Amino acid sequence: MAVRPAWAAWQDAERAADLVVIGAGVGGCAAALAASSAGLRVILTEETDWIGGQLTAQVVPPDEHPWIEEFGCTRAYRRFRNGVRDYYRDHYPLTPEARERAQLNPGNGWVSRLCHEPRVGVAVLRQMLAPMISRGSLILLTRTRPIAAEVDGDRVRSVTCQHLDSGRRITLTAPLFADGTELGELLPLTGTEYRTGAESQAQTGEPHAGAECRPDNQQAFTVCFACEHLPGEDHTIDRPAEYAFWRDYVPEMQPPWPGPLFGWTYPYPRTLEPRTLTFDPTLKAGGVSLWTYRRLLDPGNFESGFLPSGVTLVNWPQNDYLLGTLIDVAEEEKQRRIAQAKELSRSLLYWMQTEAPRPDGGTGWPGLRLRADITGTPDGMAKTPYIREARRIESLFRVTELHIGTDPRMRETGKSKEAVRATPFQDSVGIGAYRIDLHPSTGGDNYIDLDTLPFQIPLGALIPKRVENLLACAKNIGTTHITNGAYRVHPCEWNIGESVGHLAAYCKDTGRLPHQVHGTASAMEEFQKRLVELGVELAWPSEPGAIRSL
């Protein structure tokens, strides 16, 4: 195949591939990497200029399970994690101690074992994709979004995309398409059946589902930002126009929020009892503080003088946007809500600089400085909102709380918490582990935070019931509003996307469609064997004590 640069694709009105992946988030990148590494011709599109989704454009370090350093992820995801650490070793002035640390955590944030800058994530992902781009098996089109699709019965024939800068359009055709967008944008374009928001208990049988189906009741989204603290300096931003509204805003929640959103007291997710957080950007090391929670850079990891201050990511309860969703609303309204969410985050920063109570009894830290270079944007806000919940396909199989929740599984099996396991799936294409972690919702639900058991990813949840050649490879798989809270995190989304990429290669090799692979025992077994050979774990260790409830 002749190598053509990505821009050359725009010289054509139409381009064909073996797999078209719309959306280069975590799952989309993993799908494109897997499929193009297998020799498929792949076209990958991305609306922003950064690939990586929640890892990069949304500026969120990976939320992971406690066993991630030993097991519980794919070989390719481990390559990414090792690549991030090696990037710091190769390019940054680390201290000798940090350089030798096998499990280097650049930010030493306590939310994750690998808190890092988003641009490093972009660099490592591009390194991983570079060989396939160079040989021409992968075309990456950034600043590109889908605007239309041609569908013939139960098959997607093409997706038309538009370049956001030039306005030029290109039609992409392939035997298989994958939706890796953050909100499940291909689903309405292709007429693929989907759900949004919260199902009722009658629909799912889940103990924590509500009495009514509420499609507009969705988890809050967040526009994140990064900042540092320079004592003795004043970097106070201009007072945001909507500051007074957000400073005094009290979320309408059940159970009630304990006070204004801008405050250090919030409902502890597991109990909903009020808990007061600490925030102190003058902390030099350690400490359970919001400052160190999602810190991206810890000065203690670097040579003296390199980094005057740590850099932290602000993705907290205080800047969750609760006044509306981004799904199935007019584009003008969607952009209005994103702009308002940015205003919320700017207002939070201004409050921290001017009015936030300090441990010493004073107010405000004017030395907090917005780091727009970290987010890669003129306004210092993330390129895209952090999305927790997307459209979800009507899938061949739907994962519910009854499959992965600790208490429901204990009741069903009669086993103790130490002995019980999540429901085993015969069509497993990977594994994941995370609590059911739902942030407050647009419908007024407070946190829903529940114990789960390390679980499997069933292939049936990645395949729509009706449409034959479209696959879900992000947060848009067949979960419920409840179980989405466990499947939405970084290593699980990577595994979903990677398995979709491997499935595309298997379908090309065998001439089968995804439904046929899923519905044929011998094909399913053969595909699973291939996954294991390619470094995808399909089951958790079975030894007693090896894993536990989360």
Q: In angstroms, what CA-CA distances link 407 with 246, 359, 418, 452, 471?
A: 38, 39, 12, 8, 31
- pLDDT in the model for residue 122: 98
Q: Can you give the pLDDT of all 550 residues of the chain as single tens digits?
A: 444 555 566 567 899 999 999 999 999 999 999 999 999 999 999 999 999 999 999 999 999 999 999 999 999 999 999 999 999 999 999 999 999 999 999 999 988 999 999 999 999 999 999 999 999 999 999 999 999 999 999 999 999 999 999 999 999 999 999 999 999 999 999 999 999 999 999 999 999 999 999 999 999 999 999 999 999 999 999 999 999 999 999 999 989 999 999 999 999 999 999 999 889 998 765 556 899 999 999 999 999 989 988 999 999 999 999 999 999 999 999 999 999 999 999 999 999 999 999 999 999 999 999 999 999 999 999 999 999 999 999 999 999 999 999 999 999 999 999 899 999 999 999 999 999 999 999 999 999 999 999 999 999 999 999 999 999 999 999 999 999 999 999 999 999 999 999 999 999 999 999 999 999 999 999 999 999 999 999 999 986 456 777 8
- pLDDT in the model for residue 84: 98
- Of residues 380, 375, 316, 374, the one with CA closest to residue 343: 380
- pLDDT in the model for residue 3: 46
Rounded to two decimals, what is the model's pTM?
A: 0.96
Q: Are 130 and 138 in contact (CB under 8 A)?
A: no
Q: Which CATH architecture has domain 6-197+389-533?
A: 3-Layer(bba) Sandwich (3.50)
Q: Give the Cα-Cα-Cα angle 198, 204, 206 (nearest 5 degrees).
A: 85
- pLDDT in the model for residue 1: 40
Q: Are 501 and 30 in contact (CB under 8 A)?
A: yes
Helix intervals (H) in 447-513: 484-487, 490-510
* C-alpha Rg value of the chain to the nearest Å: 23
Q: Are 118 and 376 in contact (CB under 8 A)?
A: yes
DSSP string, 98-138: HHH-TT--TT--TT-S----HHHHHHHHHHHHHHHHHHTSE
Can the peptide bond before residue 385 be classed as cis, meaning omega within 30 degrees of 0? no
Q: Which two tokens stand for residue 495?
A: 């595994």
- Of residues 315, 304, 322, 487, the one with CA closest to residue 392: 487
The answer for residues whose C-beta is within 8 angstroms of residue 340's C-beta and 6 or more apart is 242, 321, 323
516: how many CB neighbours lie within 10 A of its CB? 14
The whole-angstrom distance between residue 462's C-alpha and the CA centroid of its chain comes to: 16
- Of residues 114, 96, 110, the one with CA closest to residue 301: 96
How far apart, in whole angstroms, are the C-alpha atoms of residue 322 and residue 227? 23
- pLDDT in the model for residue 2: 43
DSSP string, 295-342: EEE-GGGB-TTS-SS-EEEE-SGGGEE-S--SSSS-HHHHHHHHHHHH
How far apart, in whole angstroms, are the C-alpha atoms of residue 323 and residue 337? 8
Backbone phi, psi, residue 163, to 5°:
-80, 125
Q: In angstroms, what CA-CA distances link 399 with 95, 305, 375, 385, 509?
A: 45, 50, 34, 26, 29
- Of residues 152, 224, 151, the one with CA closest to residue 377: 224
Beta strands 155-163 and 311-314 are unpaired
- pLDDT in the model for residue 548: 74
Scanning the structure block, which residue is given the tokens 């490879």?
473
- Of residues 468, 469, 487, the one with CA closest to residue 478: 487
Domain boundaries, the chain: 6-197+389-533, 221-375
Q: Are 281 and 312 in contact (CB under 8 A)?
A: yes
- Of residues 483, 481, 451, 446, the one with CA closest to residue 273: 446
Q: Are 343 and 242 in contact (CB under 8 A)?
A: yes
